[in-house]
Structure 1
Amino acid sequence: MLNNYDKIANHYDTLSRLVFFKSQVNAQINQLQYIPKGSTVLIVGGGTGWILEELARVYASGLKIVYVEISAKMTALSQKRNYQDNQVEFVNLGIEDFETNITFDVILTPFLFDNFAEQRAVKVFGQLNGYLKTDGLWFLVDFSLHKTNGNWWKRLLLKSMYRFFKLLGIVEANHLVDMNPYFLKWAYQILELRLYYGGFIKAVIFKKIK
């Protein structure tokens, strides 16, 4: 199954920290302070679920969270997390197969779009855009070939990552899709942009204007 990390679920966090130290973690944690109290939150591709415990540090209760993760092993690990008194619904599906009548205050997509070929990325973007309320917040964290500090090592690292995941038969993508034009097309406003790991990791908070 494409874009499914079952094969490395038990080792994923360790592998990511070996390469990126805490950059991937910090890029996500630093956004959480912007979540309004009592929000309805959609998390897509949350991995092992450590983000639920970090959310609980910000709000120990009052959040209604829908947690969509395609990996059954990742979902199982996430269900063991201490998310305090927040309400969490776990959905073990690919986001393309997920349907809901809920509209969300906040959507989190940590390192989601780097898995997809462009056609699927655009489809998923449109789907999630429909789930987000007007004036809602979209927290995007992903890899970026940002111009600062040179691109050669970023391209080399990205190529190595895709080759590794291709060997394991995990991801469908061969290259990074720049999602920024799609946010601009649908009139999202950038509230904050932070770069990590020499600009290779980008964390953006978008606000849906209409």
Structure 2
Amino acid sequence: MNNNYDKIANHYDTLSRLVFFKSQVNAQVNQLQYIPKNSAVLIVGGGTGWILEEIAKMYPDGLKIVYVEISAKMLAISQKRDCKNNQVEFVSLGIEDFRTHILFDVILTPFLFDNFAEKRAAKVFEQLNGYLKRDGLWFIVDFSLDKGDGKWWKWLLLNSMYSFFKLLGIVEANQLINMHPYFLNFDYQIVEQRFYYRDFIKAVIYKKNKMTFI
């Protein structure tokens, strides 16, 4: 399993909105105001690319965006998005195979780490940390089981999702990895944290406090 969503690329957004309404969208859009003008932005696992149009509504020019997506079908949909005058480089690779000398001001990883087993999640985290500038911002949105009531239905829904994606041979993960300790270990601080969908979706903006290397 390589965490590739080609099989459901044309239906992914519809399926996510049927279950979560606009919670997944709002969790990501509400973070965009923190993107500095004229910055370099890395988006990993952006899916169908609707986030590019949301970024363009707020910043119609001046951004240099690298968009890494393993699903060729998702990437093809993303390339049709209206990015206004922003410069966007589309990369059809799994993030583990992506290499760059660019240091980014902002990294976005929406619902990325919930695909990975823990060993791969740690490896990807360290790789991306090396691509982020000192004082850079990391936007992470993912599912969460650590806040609020109703943990039983969150666990049930999460496991149903994993079972569905396993049936399709899409994801490798069996359980959700808590990424917060990784950020703490690399001296990140929380700029903003919000919860959505009765606290099942967590959106955090981290700031990198010092340069750390892999």
User: Helix, strand or coil: the match of 1:159?
Assistant: helix
The normalised TM-score by structure 1 is 0.99
> For 1:38-59, what per-residue CA distance to the aligned partner results, in whole angstroms no more than 9, with x for missing partners?
0100000000000000000110
Find the aligned partners of 2:124 and 2:71 in 1 and give their Cα distance.
17
**Mapped pair 1:16 → 2:16:** yes
Aligned to 1:130: 130
The aligned counterpart of 1:113 is: 113
Compute the displacement of 1:30 (Å): 0.1
Q: Structure 1: 5+ residue runs without aligned partners?
A: none
Equivalent residue, structure 1, for 2:77: 77
Between the aligned partners of 1:125 and 1:2, the Cα distance in structure 2 is 17
Q: How many Å separate the matches in 2 of 1:119 and 1:175?
A: 12
Looking at structure 2, the residues matched to 159 and 47 of structure 1 have their Cα atoms a distance apart, in angstroms, of 21
How far off is 1:142 after superposition?
Answer: 0.3
TM-aligned CA deviation for residue 207 of structure 1: 0.1
* Partner Cα distance (2:166, 2:145) in 1: 20
What secondary structure, in the 3-state scheme, does the structure 1 residue paired with 2:145 have?
coil
Q: In the TM superposition, what is the alpha-carbon distance from 1:111 to its structure 2 partner? A: 0.1
> Take 1:161 and 1:97, find their aligned partners in 2: how far apart are those partners?
26
Map 1:118-197 to 2 at 5 A: 118-197=118-197
Query: How many Å apart are 1:37 and its aligned residue?
Result: 0.4
Q: Which amino acid aligns with 2:61?
A: S
Moved over 2 A (4+): none
**1:201 corresponds to 2:204:** no
Aligned-residue CA RMSD (Å): 0.5
TM-score (norm: length of structure 2): 0.97
| Comparing 90-99 and 143-152, the one that deviates more | 143-152
Percent identity over the alignment? 79
In the TM superposition, residue 147 of structure 1 has moved relative to its aligned partner by 2.6
| Structure 2: segments with no counterpart, 5+ residues | none
